[in-house]
Amino acid sequence: MKLSELQHQFSDALLYKNDLISGQIKERDSFSSKDLLQVYRNSFVMGVTEALTVTYQHTLALVGEEFFNAAARQFILQQPPQENNIMAYGDGFYNFLGSLEQLKEMPYIAETARFEWLLEQTANAHIQTALLDVVMLAKVQPEQFTDIVFHIPQQVTLFHSEQDIQHLYQMLMKKQVQETDLAHDCYMALKKQPDFSVELIALTSHEYALTEQIKRSRPLGQIQPQELHQHLPALLEKHLVNGFTLN
């Protein structure tokens, strides 16, 4: 049997698709080949679950270890890792949680998981050190204003939720979770810092809309509605713009 075929059979066996590989596993002491296969399965699921707990530690705190492990096991078997880098695994776990009937009345849990995934991606982003050249910006002629394309640093990620995840996250960080109304829109910019921490920058809905359009490289003249232009100073003050070009 070719190595690739063995690897494929072993992969299928770990995901409970079949037991064909058991014939290739040598029995040891009092353990049959199927017993050993189950050990491999358990070890695989436990290892990947541990990787998920690193990313989704606050989601784990919300649902408890038993529920998290059970949900993680289902997710892993349905959507197993596709590459060797286990640290890159976990995208989509928030969608999976949102599909669970047990969590339908608690949308903030799946939203917390979505936030934690973006938080980790932001922490791993490349930092652009360029700063906005305000001297050059001041030299732009009035008739060119509509052609200005502002730049948002790569280490900035936008997050919007209909649940107040920023407030919930702060409570989780302080380990002071208490009953509260989370059914409020939350707008944030996540920005990686040189020390690898991530700054959470609260935005208004208008600041978020403006930042989102700038992030899509829209010139000022194409940003709609034009009333959003008045929120540009707030973005500059929050250091969310690091440069510009003329379209």
The domains of the chain are located at 1-124, 125-247
* Cα 234 → chain centroid: 26
| pLDDT at 204 (0 to 100) | 98
| pLDDT at 6 (0 to 100) | 45
Q: Could you tell me which residues come within 8 angstroms of residue 112 by beta carbon, excluding any fewer than 6 positions away?
A: 58, 59, 62, 165, 168, 169, 172
Q: Is 191 exposed, middle or buried (0-12, 13-18, 19+ CB in 10 A)?
A: buried
Q: Provide the residue count of the chain.
A: 247
| pLDDT at 35 (0 to 100) | 55
| pLDDT at 81 (0 to 100) | 87
The helix/strand/coil state of 16 is: coil
| pLDDT at 138 (0 to 100) | 93
Ranges of residues in the chain whose predicted pLDDT is under 50:
1-3, 6, 9-10, 20, 23-24
> Which token pair is 188?
């944030």
Rounded Cα distance, 25 and 15, in Å: 16
Residue given tokens 């100073």 in the structure block: 233
| pLDDT at 86 (0 to 100) | 80
- CA dihedral 51→55→56→60, nearest 10 degrees, is 50
> Which token pair is 73?
């096991």
